[in-house]
Structure 1
Amino acid sequence: MSDPMRPPVARSRASLRTAVVWDVLRDALDRLAKATGRESLDVLDTGGGSGNFAVPVARLGHRVTVVDPSPNALFALERRAGEAGVADRVHGVQGDVHGLFDVVERGGYDAVLCHGVLEYVDDPAAGVRNAVAALRAEGVLSLLAAGLGGAVLARALAGHFTEARQALGDPEGRWGEGDPVPRRFTAEQLTGFVEEAGLAIGAVHGVRVFADLVPGVLVDTEPGALDALLQLEAAAAELPAFHSVATQLHVLGETRGASGA
């Protein structure tokens, strides 16, 4: 983590939401850069918002195009990229994953990020197909979406047993009318989308397996608790037994060339 080209994950509760995904993504980009012989990759971040991943990726030296439907998010992205000194490597454009090729080039990117997008689109499988179609012959897809099991467990532990059962049996994984998330997925659904789009599965990780269940007071007041929880999250992330209770699921898809590199 001392490598200056690898921005460290901030030791805060917010880091629990991104640490596992960031580590997997950073390593995948490193491997792809070595395999292709290009130190600077072209990365597409669909639904990238204000740049939570785009700016750190640009700090690694890569060129990032962010597609997002929100003008406000793109304005915040421009400001964040400028403050981080990577404005020349981050480009924002208004659009969405279904109309992706109205605003970006088909087959023009080494890596595509699709984080927090599938929950909100009408056809998740089509969204994944578009994301994959944006990849070059050798590339990687980073897919992050809400997990069904984590929502069921969270509602049950909060004492909302009827809502937990509703989410468990609902085709979209929703626990009721007040649920702010339109759609949730199992690991099998997400890997199915990726494989049907023609990619090999490089890895599957559970994200926020414990972080959303542990009382904040324990993390904030116990010495060393945050670091220990981060390490626990990392250790559990790759274990299939914990995928079914994760708040989010991360799938790394690879083209055949990238997976064989």
Structure 2
Amino acid sequence: MPDPTRPRSSLRTAVVWEVVSDALERRVKATGREALDVLDTGGGSGNFAVPVARLGHRVTVVDPSPNALFALERRAAEAGVADRVRGVQGDAHGLFDVVERGGYDAVLCHGVLEYVDDPAEGVRNVVAALRSEGVLSLLAAGLGGAVLARALAGHFKEAKRALDDPNGRWGESDPVPHRFTAEQLTALVEGAGLRVGAVHGVRIFADLVPGVLVDTEPGALDALLKLEAAAAEQAAFHSVATQLHVLGETPGAVEV
């Protein structure tokens, strides 16, 4: 997967990367430690883990795929951060079979919650990996974005089904088991004992704009990135975002 700090891929990841990097910087200032311990659940081949390691932090990636972990190892080596990235095979359900409970300053849980049987339990599990003062970066599929995408593709019955389905699924062949509203995600985070620091819509426009326009129109990529960033924090756009990002903070976390 592409690096979130590289321009083309940043159409989908820039907003999340900005929030994550800022949160890590605040934790560095609050703890007085330059290197934090970061857990990336479902981190795959290192889309976020490697850039986080480049900031100087120690990152443990938990992923069920051996192939993804092999790619992570290779990518970390190529980036010169192999000594700060560790990959272990596992999943959110059995998280503490492979990592330490309460051992991390920050936990990234990106693209995981959609696939666990019990999302509330999944959030509680990753929160339990945090130290008494820490932050959670939670990224999950948004309901509104899926409904909008099906409707714009002319699949109106599927759009309506996703809107009515308790899990936000548009049909039996839908590959995503769960989708969420911003309200549902914030409730899960608060239910796990964290306070919500911020909510952002992700990929509000990026998935709807033809790629050829972005690739060929001068200045289009930069303009679209700025538009995504400007709309991300506005609640009016959360309902149509492809993904939703919630930053959760432990009650003891100190803002700096």
Confirm or deny a common fold (TM above 0.5).
yes
SS at match of 2:140: strand
SS at match of 2:253: helix
How large is the Cα RMSD of the aligned pairs? 1.1
* CA distance in 2 between partners of 1:186 and 1:147 (Å): 6
What residue number does 1:201 align with?
Answer: 196
The alignment partner of 2:126 has SS state of: helix
Q: Does 1:220 align with 2:210?
A: no
Taking a change above 3 Å as real, the CA distance of residues 227 and 193 of structure 1, as seen in their structure-2 partners, is same
**Residues 1:10 and 2:3 aligned together:** no
CA contact (8 A) 1:202 1:259 kept: no
2:149 is the counterpart of 1:154: yes
**1:258 Cα deviation from its structure 2 partner:** 1.6
State the percentage of identical aligned residues.
Answer: 85
TM superposition shift of 1:259: 4.8
Could you tell me how far 1:81 is from its partner in structure 2?
Answer: 0.3
Deviations 1:43-100 (A, max 9, x none): 0000100100000000000000000111111111000000000000000001111101
Match of 1:45 in 2: 40
| In the alignment, structure 1 residue 33 sits paired with structure 2 residue 33 | no
Q: Which of 142, 146, 149 matches 2:137?
A: 142
| SS of 1:141 mapped into structure 2 | strand
Take 1:98 and 1:188, find their aligned partners in 2: how far apart are those partners?
23
- Alignment correspondent of 1:108: 103
Q: What are structure 2's unaligned runs of at least 5 residues?
A: none
What TM-score results when the alignment is normalised by the length of structure 1?
Answer: 0.95
Partner residue of 1:129? 124
**Cα separation, 2, equivalents of 1:141 and 1:237:** 18
User: Which of 72, 79, 85 is the matching residue for 1:84?
Assistant: 79
Q: Give the CA deviation at 1:260.
A: 4.5
Pair 1:177 & 2:167 matched: no
Aligned residue for 1:257, secondary structure, equals coil
Q: Aligned residues, how many? A: 254
1:231-256 Cα deviation digits (max 9, x unpaired): 00000000000000000000000011
- Structure 1: give runs of 5+ residues left out of the alignment: 1-6
Bigger Cα displacement from structure 2, 37-46 vs 216-225: 216-225
Query: Could you list the runs of 4 or more consecutive aligned residues of structure 1 that deviate by over 2 angstroms after TM superposition?
Result: none
Looking at structure 2, the residues matched to 79 and 181 of structure 1 have their Cα atoms a distance apart, in angstroms, of 29
User: Residues 260 and 34 of structure 1: is their aligned pair in 2 closer, same or farther, counting only changes over 3 Å?
Assistant: closer
1:243 to 238, 244, 250: 238
Query: 2:4 and 2:222 mapped to 1: Cα distance?
Result: 13
Contact 1:71 1:94 in 2 (8 A): yes
Once residues 250 and 116 of structure 2 are traced to their aligned partners in structure 1, the CA distance between those partners, rounded to angstroms, is 24
Q: Give, in whole Å, the separation in 2 of the partners of 1:39 and 1:53.
A: 18
Q: Any conservation in 1 of the 2:30–2:255 contact (CA below 8 Å)?
A: no
Give how far 1:183 is off.
Answer: 1.1
